[in-house]
Structure 1
Protein backbone atom coordinates (compact mmCIF):
# COMPACT_ATOMS: atom_id res chain seq x y z
CA UNK A 1 0.00 0.00 0.00
CA UNK A 2 1.37 3.40 -0.96
CA UNK A 3 0.91 6.35 1.37
CA UNK A 4 0.42 9.73 -0.26
CA UNK A 5 1.47 12.96 1.43
CA UNK A 6 0.23 16.43 0.72
CA UNK A 7 2.71 18.91 -0.73
CA UNK A 8 2.90 20.72 2.62
CA UNK A 9 3.67 17.50 4.52
CA UNK A 10 6.22 16.45 1.89
CA UNK A 11 8.01 19.78 2.15
CA UNK A 12 8.05 19.50 5.94
CA UNK A 13 9.59 16.04 5.77
CA UNK A 14 12.19 17.17 3.23
CA UNK A 15 13.08 20.21 5.36
CA UNK A 16 13.44 17.98 8.41
CA UNK A 17 15.70 15.55 6.55
CA UNK A 18 17.88 18.36 5.21
CA UNK A 19 18.18 19.88 8.68
CA UNK A 20 19.05 16.48 10.14
CA UNK A 21 21.74 15.83 7.53
CA UNK A 22 23.28 19.30 7.91
CA UNK A 23 23.17 19.04 11.70
CA UNK A 24 25.02 15.75 11.67
CA UNK A 25 27.57 16.80 9.06
CA UNK A 26 29.02 19.71 11.00
CA UNK A 27 32.77 19.65 11.40
CA UNK A 28 34.59 19.67 14.74
CA UNK A 29 37.24 22.37 15.10
CA UNK A 30 39.63 23.55 17.80
CA UNK A 31 40.80 27.15 17.91
CA UNK A 32 43.01 29.19 20.19
CA UNK A 33 41.21 31.62 22.45
CA UNK A 34 41.85 35.24 21.47
CA UNK A 35 42.55 37.89 24.13
CA UNK A 36 39.31 39.37 25.44
CA UNK A 37 40.61 42.95 25.67
CA UNK A 38 43.69 45.16 25.33
CA UNK A 39 44.86 44.27 28.85
CA UNK A 40 44.93 40.56 27.98
CA UNK A 41 46.74 41.33 24.72
CA UNK A 42 49.62 42.75 26.78
CA UNK A 43 49.65 39.75 29.13
CA UNK A 44 49.37 36.89 26.62
CA UNK A 45 51.74 35.38 24.09
CA UNK A 46 51.37 32.60 21.54
CA UNK A 47 54.43 30.35 21.58
CA UNK A 48 55.10 27.60 19.05
CA UNK A 49 57.80 25.10 18.20
CA UNK A 50 58.32 21.85 16.30
CA UNK A 51 59.44 18.73 18.15
CA UNK A 52 60.71 15.75 16.14
CA UNK A 53 61.26 12.20 17.34
CA UNK A 54 64.47 10.67 15.96
CA UNK A 55 62.95 7.22 15.58
CA UNK A 56 66.16 5.38 14.64
CA UNK A 57 68.46 7.47 16.86
CA UNK A 58 70.77 8.12 13.92
CA UNK A 59 69.81 11.55 12.57
CA UNK A 60 73.13 13.10 13.64
CA UNK A 61 75.28 10.29 12.24
CA UNK A 62 77.35 11.38 9.25
CA UNK A 63 76.53 8.11 7.45
CA UNK A 64 72.78 8.80 7.65
CA UNK A 65 71.53 10.33 4.41
CA UNK A 66 67.80 10.07 5.11
CA UNK A 67 66.32 10.68 8.56
CA UNK A 68 63.35 8.82 10.00
CA UNK A 69 61.37 11.20 12.18
CA UNK A 70 57.84 11.85 13.36
CA UNK A 71 56.38 15.06 14.75
CA UNK A 72 55.11 15.20 18.32
CA UNK A 73 52.29 17.63 19.07
CA UNK A 74 50.75 19.14 22.20
CA UNK A 75 48.89 15.91 22.97
CA UNK A 76 52.22 14.08 23.38
CA UNK A 77 53.65 16.17 26.20
CA UNK A 78 52.84 18.48 29.07
CA UNK A 79 54.52 21.72 30.06
CA UNK A 80 55.37 23.06 33.50
CA UNK A 81 55.33 26.69 34.62
CA UNK A 82 58.37 27.84 36.57
CA UNK A 83 57.31 29.23 39.95
CA UNK A 84 60.70 29.61 41.62
CA UNK A 85 64.23 30.19 40.34
CA UNK A 86 67.63 30.82 41.84
CA UNK A 87 69.61 32.62 39.18
CA UNK A 88 69.16 30.47 36.07
CA UNK A 89 68.36 27.35 38.10
CA UNK A 90 64.80 26.03 38.28
CA UNK A 91 63.82 25.40 41.88
CA UNK A 92 60.11 24.71 41.58
CA UNK A 93 57.38 24.43 38.95
CA UNK A 94 53.75 23.40 38.55
CA UNK A 95 52.12 21.44 35.68
CA UNK A 96 49.97 23.44 33.29
CA UNK A 97 46.48 21.97 32.77
CA UNK A 98 45.47 21.08 29.21
CA UNK A 99 42.29 23.04 29.61
CA UNK A 100 39.41 23.31 27.19
CA UNK A 101 37.74 26.62 27.94
CA UNK A 102 34.38 26.39 26.21
CA UNK A 103 32.46 25.18 23.15
CA UNK A 104 30.57 27.18 20.56
CA UNK A 105 28.26 26.16 17.74
CA UNK A 106 28.58 27.84 14.36
CA UNK A 107 26.58 27.37 11.19
CA UNK A 108 28.82 24.63 9.78
CA UNK A 109 30.89 23.53 12.75
CA UNK A 110 31.24 22.93 16.46
CA UNK A 111 34.21 24.91 17.79
CA UNK A 112 36.22 24.15 20.91
CA UNK A 113 38.28 27.04 22.29
CA UNK A 114 41.46 26.20 24.14
CA UNK A 115 44.86 27.61 25.08
CA UNK A 116 46.74 24.98 23.10
CA UNK A 117 46.45 23.39 19.68
CA UNK A 118 46.88 19.72 18.84
CA UNK A 119 48.40 19.32 15.43
CA UNK A 120 51.86 18.69 14.04
CA UNK A 121 53.08 21.90 15.67
CA UNK A 122 52.90 22.69 19.36
CA UNK A 123 51.21 26.03 20.06
CA UNK A 124 50.32 27.47 23.45
CA UNK A 125 48.69 30.70 24.61
CA UNK A 126 50.66 31.54 27.75
CA UNK A 127 51.33 34.26 30.29
CA UNK A 128 54.03 36.38 28.64
CA UNK A 129 55.58 37.15 32.04
CA UNK A 130 56.16 33.49 32.90
CA UNK A 131 58.63 30.81 31.80
CA UNK A 132 57.83 27.20 31.01
CA UNK A 133 59.50 23.94 30.02
CA UNK A 134 58.47 20.47 28.84
CA UNK A 135 57.85 18.19 31.82
CA UNK A 136 56.54 14.83 30.60
CA UNK A 137 56.37 13.18 27.19
CA UNK A 138 54.41 10.17 25.98
CA UNK A 139 54.18 8.83 22.44
CA UNK A 140 54.27 5.64 20.37
CA UNK A 141 56.69 4.19 17.86
CA UNK A 142 55.80 1.44 15.42
CA UNK A 143 58.28 -1.42 15.48
CA UNK A 144 56.62 -3.66 12.90
CA UNK A 145 53.29 -4.45 11.27
CA UNK A 146 51.73 -5.52 14.58
CA UNK A 147 54.12 -3.98 17.05
CA UNK A 148 53.90 -0.63 18.82
CA UNK A 149 56.19 0.58 21.58
CA UNK A 150 54.96 3.13 24.12
CA UNK A 151 57.54 5.69 25.20
CA UNK A 152 56.82 7.55 28.42
CA UNK A 153 59.34 9.78 30.15
CA UNK A 154 59.91 12.72 32.43
CA UNK A 155 62.57 15.19 31.32
CA UNK A 156 65.05 16.41 33.91
CA UNK A 157 63.73 19.93 34.66
CA UNK A 158 66.97 21.88 34.34
CA UNK A 159 68.03 20.14 31.12
CA UNK A 160 64.58 20.66 29.60
CA UNK A 161 64.54 24.33 30.66
CA UNK A 162 68.07 24.98 29.36
CA UNK A 163 67.30 23.27 26.04
CA UNK A 164 63.88 24.77 25.39
CA UNK A 165 62.89 27.67 27.61
CA UNK A 166 59.30 28.30 26.58
CA UNK A 167 58.80 32.05 26.78
CA UNK A 168 57.22 34.52 24.39
CA UNK A 169 56.71 38.27 24.04
CA UNK A 170 53.68 40.28 25.21
CA UNK A 171 50.96 40.27 22.57
CA UNK A 172 53.13 38.51 19.98
CA UNK A 173 53.60 35.13 18.30
CA UNK A 174 57.03 33.61 18.92
CA UNK A 175 58.35 30.52 17.13
CA UNK A 176 61.12 28.95 19.22
CA UNK A 177 62.58 26.66 16.57
CA UNK A 178 62.84 22.98 15.69
CA UNK A 179 63.92 20.45 18.33
CA UNK A 180 64.74 16.75 18.31
CA UNK A 181 64.25 14.10 20.96
CA UNK A 182 66.47 11.03 20.72
CA UNK A 183 65.05 8.34 23.00
CA UNK A 184 67.68 5.64 23.39
CA UNK A 185 65.96 2.45 24.48
CA UNK A 186 67.23 0.17 27.22
CA UNK A 187 66.48 -3.18 25.57
CA UNK A 188 66.96 -5.12 28.80
CA UNK A 189 64.01 -3.28 30.36
CA UNK A 190 61.51 -4.69 27.87
CA UNK A 191 59.71 -7.84 28.98
CA UNK A 192 57.46 -10.43 27.39
CA UNK A 193 54.52 -9.09 29.40
CA UNK A 194 54.86 -5.41 28.50
CA UNK A 195 55.79 -3.24 25.53
CA UNK A 196 56.97 -0.42 27.81
CA UNK A 197 60.70 0.26 27.87
CA UNK A 198 63.02 2.50 29.84
CA UNK A 199 64.61 5.21 27.76
CA UNK A 200 67.46 7.64 28.09
CA UNK A 201 66.42 10.85 26.33
CA UNK A 202 68.70 13.22 24.46
CA UNK A 203 66.93 16.52 23.84
CA UNK A 204 68.40 19.35 21.74
CA UNK A 205 67.67 22.10 19.26
CA UNK A 206 68.45 21.65 15.57
CA UNK A 207 70.58 24.73 15.01
CA UNK A 208 70.37 26.70 11.77
CA UNK A 209 73.78 25.42 10.60
CA UNK A 210 73.15 21.77 11.57
CA UNK A 211 74.03 19.17 8.88
CA UNK A 212 70.68 17.51 9.63
CA UNK A 213 69.01 20.09 7.40
CA UNK A 214 70.98 18.76 4.42
CA UNK A 215 69.61 15.24 4.81
CA UNK A 216 66.52 13.85 3.14
CA UNK A 217 63.30 13.99 5.16
CA UNK A 218 60.28 11.73 4.50
CA UNK A 219 57.88 13.17 1.94
CA UNK A 220 54.98 13.45 4.38
CA UNK A 221 57.21 15.35 6.83
CA UNK A 222 58.29 17.75 4.08
CA UNK A 223 54.71 18.48 3.01
CA UNK A 224 53.16 18.76 6.48
CA UNK A 225 55.92 20.52 8.43
CA UNK A 226 57.74 22.73 5.95
CA UNK A 227 56.83 25.32 3.34
CA UNK A 228 57.24 23.81 -0.12
CA UNK A 229 58.86 26.97 -1.53
CA UNK A 230 61.31 27.55 1.33
CA UNK A 231 63.13 24.22 1.60
CA UNK A 232 63.86 22.28 4.79
CA UNK A 233 65.00 24.69 7.50
CA UNK A 234 63.85 26.55 10.60
CA UNK A 235 62.42 29.51 8.67
CA UNK A 236 60.40 27.14 6.50
CA UNK A 237 59.00 25.43 9.61
CA UNK A 238 57.97 28.80 11.07
CA UNK A 239 56.19 29.73 7.84
CA UNK A 240 54.25 26.47 7.97
CA UNK A 241 53.42 27.04 11.65
CA UNK A 242 52.01 30.50 10.88
CA UNK A 243 50.00 29.19 7.93
CA UNK A 244 48.50 26.57 10.26
CA UNK A 245 47.51 29.27 12.76
CA UNK A 246 45.87 31.33 10.01
CA UNK A 247 43.97 28.30 8.74
CA UNK A 248 42.84 27.17 12.19
CA UNK A 249 41.82 30.56 13.58
CA UNK A 250 39.78 31.81 10.61
CA UNK A 251 39.54 35.29 12.19
CA UNK A 252 40.53 37.33 15.22
CA UNK A 253 43.62 38.53 17.07
CA UNK A 254 45.97 35.55 16.66
CA UNK A 255 45.10 35.19 12.97
CA UNK A 256 45.99 38.84 12.36
CA UNK A 257 49.24 38.48 14.31
CA UNK A 258 50.14 35.36 12.32
CA UNK A 259 49.49 37.17 9.03
CA UNK A 260 51.68 40.08 10.14
CA UNK A 261 54.57 37.82 11.17
CA UNK A 262 54.22 35.77 7.98
CA UNK A 263 54.54 38.90 5.83
CA UNK A 264 57.69 39.86 7.74
CA UNK A 265 59.22 36.42 7.15
CA UNK A 266 58.41 36.35 3.45
CA UNK A 267 60.09 39.74 2.97
CA UNK A 268 63.26 38.75 4.84
Structure 2
Protein backbone atom coordinates (compact mmCIF):
# COMPACT_ATOMS: atom_id res chain seq x y z
CA UNK A 1 0.00 0.00 0.00
CA UNK A 2 1.42 3.38 -0.94
CA UNK A 3 1.87 5.93 1.83
CA UNK A 4 -0.11 8.30 -0.35
CA UNK A 5 -3.28 6.32 0.39
CA UNK A 6 -2.76 6.83 4.13
CA UNK A 7 -2.38 10.55 3.51
CA UNK A 8 -5.34 10.74 1.12
CA UNK A 9 -7.73 9.02 3.53
CA UNK A 10 -6.45 11.19 6.38
CA UNK A 11 -7.12 14.24 4.24
CA UNK A 12 -10.63 12.99 3.49
CA UNK A 13 -11.34 12.66 7.22
CA UNK A 14 -10.02 16.13 7.97
CA UNK A 15 -12.01 17.66 5.12
CA UNK A 16 -15.20 15.87 6.19
CA UNK A 17 -14.75 17.04 9.76
CA UNK A 18 -14.19 20.63 8.64
CA UNK A 19 -17.01 20.75 6.09
CA UNK A 20 -19.70 18.57 7.66
CA UNK A 21 -19.10 17.51 11.25
CA UNK A 22 -17.72 20.51 13.11
CA UNK A 23 -20.15 23.06 11.61
CA UNK A 24 -22.99 20.96 13.05
CA UNK A 25 -21.45 20.52 16.48
CA UNK A 26 -23.64 22.36 19.02
CA UNK A 27 -25.78 23.64 16.14
CA UNK A 28 -28.19 20.72 15.69
CA UNK A 29 -31.90 21.49 15.63
CA UNK A 30 -34.63 19.40 17.23
CA UNK A 31 -35.31 17.59 13.97
CA UNK A 32 -31.63 16.90 13.31
CA UNK A 33 -31.36 14.10 15.88
CA UNK A 34 -33.44 10.92 15.66
CA UNK A 35 -33.38 7.32 16.92
CA UNK A 36 -32.53 4.67 14.34
CA UNK A 37 -33.16 2.04 17.03
CA UNK A 38 -34.19 2.32 20.68
CA UNK A 39 -31.45 4.26 22.44
CA UNK A 40 -29.35 4.57 19.24
CA UNK A 41 -29.09 8.16 18.05
CA UNK A 42 -28.24 9.35 14.57
CA UNK A 43 -27.87 12.93 13.39
CA UNK A 44 -28.02 14.59 10.01
CA UNK A 45 -24.27 15.10 10.34
CA UNK A 46 -23.69 11.32 10.72
CA UNK A 47 -25.56 10.61 7.51
CA UNK A 48 -24.01 13.43 5.50
CA UNK A 49 -20.51 12.65 6.73
CA UNK A 50 -20.90 8.99 5.77
CA UNK A 51 -22.07 9.98 2.29
CA UNK A 52 -19.08 12.29 1.80
CA UNK A 53 -16.58 9.75 3.14
CA UNK A 54 -18.05 6.89 1.11
CA UNK A 55 -17.90 8.89 -2.11
CA UNK A 56 -14.30 9.85 -1.43
CA UNK A 57 -13.23 6.30 -0.64
CA UNK A 58 -14.81 4.92 -3.80
CA UNK A 59 -12.83 7.47 -5.80
CA UNK A 60 -9.60 6.40 -4.10
CA UNK A 61 -10.25 2.70 -4.70
CA UNK A 62 -12.63 2.22 -7.63
CA UNK A 63 -14.61 -0.99 -7.29
CA UNK A 64 -14.21 -1.12 -3.52
CA UNK A 65 -17.15 -1.65 -1.17
CA UNK A 66 -18.03 0.76 1.64
CA UNK A 67 -19.65 -0.66 4.79
CA UNK A 68 -20.82 2.34 6.78
CA UNK A 69 -22.59 2.33 10.12
CA UNK A 70 -25.58 4.27 8.83
CA UNK A 71 -25.85 2.24 5.62
CA UNK A 72 -25.85 -0.96 7.67
CA UNK A 73 -28.69 0.41 9.79
CA UNK A 74 -30.73 0.50 6.57
CA UNK A 75 -29.33 -2.72 5.07
CA UNK A 76 -27.73 -5.15 7.57
CA UNK A 77 -26.79 -7.49 4.71
CA UNK A 78 -23.88 -5.14 3.93
CA UNK A 79 -21.98 -6.70 6.81
CA UNK A 80 -21.38 -9.85 4.76
CA UNK A 81 -18.73 -7.94 2.80
CA UNK A 82 -16.42 -7.81 5.84
CA UNK A 83 -15.54 -11.47 5.32
CA UNK A 84 -15.52 -11.24 1.53
CA UNK A 85 -12.92 -10.78 -1.17
CA UNK A 86 -11.52 -7.53 -2.48
CA UNK A 87 -11.20 -4.13 -0.83
CA UNK A 88 -13.81 -3.20 1.77
CA UNK A 89 -13.92 0.05 3.73
CA UNK A 90 -15.43 0.06 7.22
CA UNK A 91 -16.66 3.53 8.20
CA UNK A 92 -17.91 5.14 11.40
CA UNK A 93 -18.71 8.71 10.32
CA UNK A 94 -19.13 9.99 13.90
CA UNK A 95 -18.14 7.65 16.68
CA UNK A 96 -19.66 8.93 19.92
CA UNK A 97 -22.87 10.23 18.36
CA UNK A 98 -24.57 10.59 21.75
CA UNK A 99 -21.75 12.91 22.85
CA UNK A 100 -21.90 14.82 19.57
CA UNK A 101 -25.68 15.23 19.73
CA UNK A 102 -25.43 16.48 23.31
CA UNK A 103 -22.78 19.02 22.39
CA UNK A 104 -20.01 17.40 24.40
CA UNK A 105 -16.70 15.74 23.59
CA UNK A 106 -15.21 13.37 22.65
CA UNK A 107 -16.23 12.06 19.27
CA UNK A 108 -14.18 10.71 16.37
CA UNK A 109 -14.25 9.81 12.68
CA UNK A 110 -12.97 6.29 11.92
CA UNK A 111 -12.13 4.16 8.90
CA UNK A 112 -10.43 0.84 8.30
CA UNK A 113 -9.55 -0.88 5.04
CA UNK A 114 -10.00 -4.64 4.70
CA UNK A 115 -8.53 -6.68 1.87
CA UNK A 116 -9.81 -10.22 1.32
CA UNK A 117 -11.42 -10.20 4.75
CA UNK A 118 -8.41 -8.95 6.76
CA UNK A 119 -7.83 -5.43 8.18
CA UNK A 120 -4.81 -3.82 6.50
CA UNK A 121 -5.04 -0.11 7.37
CA UNK A 122 -6.84 2.14 9.85
CA UNK A 123 -7.51 5.79 10.63
CA UNK A 124 -8.98 7.41 13.77
CA UNK A 125 -9.39 11.19 13.94
CA UNK A 126 -10.52 13.25 16.94
CA UNK A 127 -11.29 16.60 15.28
CA UNK A 128 -11.67 18.62 18.47
CA UNK A 129 -8.31 17.48 19.82
CA UNK A 130 -6.79 17.52 16.33
CA UNK A 131 -5.39 14.02 16.97
CA UNK A 132 -4.98 11.60 14.07
CA UNK A 133 -3.78 8.00 14.35
CA UNK A 134 -3.03 5.84 11.34
CA UNK A 135 -1.81 2.28 10.95
CA UNK A 136 -0.78 -0.03 8.16
CA UNK A 137 -0.41 -3.77 8.60
CA UNK A 138 3.27 -4.60 8.95
CA UNK A 139 4.29 -0.93 8.91
CA UNK A 140 3.35 0.20 12.41
CA UNK A 141 1.16 2.88 13.93
CA UNK A 142 1.58 6.66 13.76
CA UNK A 143 0.09 9.29 16.02
CA UNK A 144 0.09 12.77 14.47
CA UNK A 145 2.83 11.60 12.15
CA UNK A 146 5.09 10.14 14.84
CA UNK A 147 5.65 6.38 15.19
CA UNK A 148 4.08 4.77 18.27
CA UNK A 149 5.29 1.60 19.92
CA UNK A 150 3.38 0.48 22.98
CA UNK A 151 5.38 -0.64 26.05
CA UNK A 152 6.36 -4.29 26.25
CA UNK A 153 6.46 -4.29 30.06
CA UNK A 154 3.72 -3.60 32.59
CA UNK A 155 3.53 -1.79 35.91
CA UNK A 156 2.09 -3.69 38.89
CA UNK A 157 -1.60 -4.45 38.40
CA UNK A 158 -2.41 -2.05 41.23
CA UNK A 159 -0.99 0.80 39.13
CA UNK A 160 -2.83 0.03 35.89
CA UNK A 161 -5.29 2.59 34.56
CA UNK A 162 -8.04 1.79 32.10
CA UNK A 163 -11.72 1.97 31.20
CA UNK A 164 -14.51 -0.59 31.38
CA UNK A 165 -18.02 -0.12 30.01
CA UNK A 166 -19.47 -2.23 32.81
CA UNK A 167 -23.06 -1.07 32.43
CA UNK A 168 -23.38 -3.08 29.21
CA UNK A 169 -22.06 -6.33 30.73
CA UNK A 170 -24.40 -9.17 31.74
CA UNK A 171 -25.19 -8.93 35.48
CA UNK A 172 -22.77 -11.62 36.68
CA UNK A 173 -19.90 -10.28 34.58
CA UNK A 174 -20.71 -6.73 35.67
CA UNK A 175 -20.48 -7.71 39.33
CA UNK A 176 -17.13 -9.41 38.75
CA UNK A 177 -15.73 -6.44 36.84
CA UNK A 178 -16.91 -3.88 39.37
CA UNK A 179 -15.56 -5.97 42.25
CA UNK A 180 -12.28 -6.54 40.44
CA UNK A 181 -11.93 -2.83 39.78
CA UNK A 182 -10.46 -2.50 43.27
CA UNK A 183 -7.49 -4.60 42.12
CA UNK A 184 -6.38 -2.18 39.41
CA UNK A 185 -5.06 1.29 40.01
CA UNK A 186 -7.95 3.15 38.39
CA UNK A 187 -11.02 1.83 36.61
CA UNK A 188 -12.67 4.54 34.50
CA UNK A 189 -16.31 4.41 33.33
CA UNK A 190 -15.52 5.13 29.68
CA UNK A 191 -16.07 8.14 27.46
CA UNK A 192 -18.89 6.87 25.21
CA UNK A 193 -16.50 7.07 22.28
CA UNK A 194 -14.50 3.96 21.38
CA UNK A 195 -12.24 5.95 19.07
CA UNK A 196 -11.05 8.15 21.92
CA UNK A 197 -10.44 5.10 24.12
CA UNK A 198 -8.13 3.67 21.46
CA UNK A 199 -6.31 6.98 21.06
CA UNK A 200 -5.81 7.10 24.83
CA UNK A 201 -4.15 3.68 24.70
CA UNK A 202 -1.73 5.02 22.10
CA UNK A 203 -0.95 8.18 24.07
CA UNK A 204 -0.30 6.24 27.29
CA UNK A 205 -3.21 7.78 29.16
CA UNK A 206 -4.50 4.27 29.87
CA UNK A 207 -3.23 0.73 29.53
CA UNK A 208 -6.43 -1.19 28.84
CA UNK A 209 -10.07 -0.85 27.84
CA UNK A 210 -12.91 -3.35 28.19
CA UNK A 211 -16.03 -3.40 26.02
CA UNK A 212 -19.11 -5.62 25.84
CA UNK A 213 -20.67 -4.32 22.63
CA UNK A 214 -18.30 -4.89 19.71
CA UNK A 215 -19.90 -3.46 16.58
CA UNK A 216 -17.35 -3.62 13.76
CA UNK A 217 -17.23 0.12 12.96
CA UNK A 218 -16.56 0.88 16.63
CA UNK A 219 -13.59 -1.49 16.90
CA UNK A 220 -12.25 -2.47 13.49
CA UNK A 221 -10.10 0.67 13.12
CA UNK A 222 -8.98 0.94 16.75
CA UNK A 223 -7.97 -2.69 17.21
CA UNK A 224 -5.70 -2.51 14.16
CA UNK A 225 -4.11 0.70 15.49
CA UNK A 226 -3.34 -1.01 18.79
CA UNK A 227 -2.10 -4.26 17.28
CA UNK A 228 0.16 -2.51 14.78
CA UNK A 229 1.71 -0.67 17.75
CA UNK A 230 2.39 -3.91 19.61
CA UNK A 231 -0.79 -4.25 21.69
CA UNK A 232 -3.42 -6.97 21.82
CA UNK A 233 -7.19 -7.09 21.22
CA UNK A 234 -8.93 -10.28 22.27
CA UNK A 235 -12.33 -11.63 23.14
CA UNK A 236 -12.91 -12.58 26.76
CA UNK A 237 -12.05 -16.21 25.91
CA UNK A 238 -8.63 -15.16 24.63
CA UNK A 239 -9.32 -15.46 20.90
CA UNK A 240 -8.26 -12.59 18.66
CA UNK A 241 -10.89 -10.02 17.78
CA UNK A 242 -12.04 -9.79 14.15
CA UNK A 243 -14.54 -7.17 12.95
CA UNK A 244 -16.59 -9.79 11.11
CA UNK A 245 -17.21 -11.70 14.35
CA UNK A 246 -20.52 -11.42 16.13
CA UNK A 247 -19.60 -12.37 19.70
CA UNK A 248 -19.78 -9.91 22.57
CA UNK A 249 -16.90 -8.91 24.81
CA UNK A 250 -13.52 -7.36 23.99
CA UNK A 251 -10.48 -6.57 26.13
CA UNK A 252 -7.78 -4.43 24.55
CA UNK A 253 -4.42 -3.84 26.24
CA UNK A 254 -1.02 -2.35 25.50
CA UNK A 255 0.65 -5.77 25.74
CA UNK A 256 0.01 -9.41 26.55
CA UNK A 257 1.02 -9.09 30.20
CA UNK A 258 -1.43 -6.27 30.84
CA UNK A 259 -4.18 -8.19 29.03
CA UNK A 260 -3.62 -11.25 31.21
CA UNK A 261 -3.50 -9.28 34.47
CA UNK A 262 -6.62 -7.24 33.68
CA UNK A 263 -8.49 -10.32 32.44
CA UNK A 264 -7.73 -12.03 35.74
CA UNK A 265 -8.67 -8.98 37.80
CA UNK A 266 -11.91 -8.01 36.05
CA UNK A 267 -13.25 -11.15 34.41
CA UNK A 268 -12.12 -14.04 36.59
CA UNK A 269 -11.12 -12.80 40.11
CA UNK A 270 -12.51 -15.82 41.99
Taking structure 2 as the reference length, the TM-score comes to 0.28
TM-score scaled by length of structure 1: 0.28
The structure that is strand-richer by fraction is 1
Q: Answer with 1 or 2: which has the greater Rg.
A: 1
Higher relative contact order (CA 8 A, sep 6+): 1
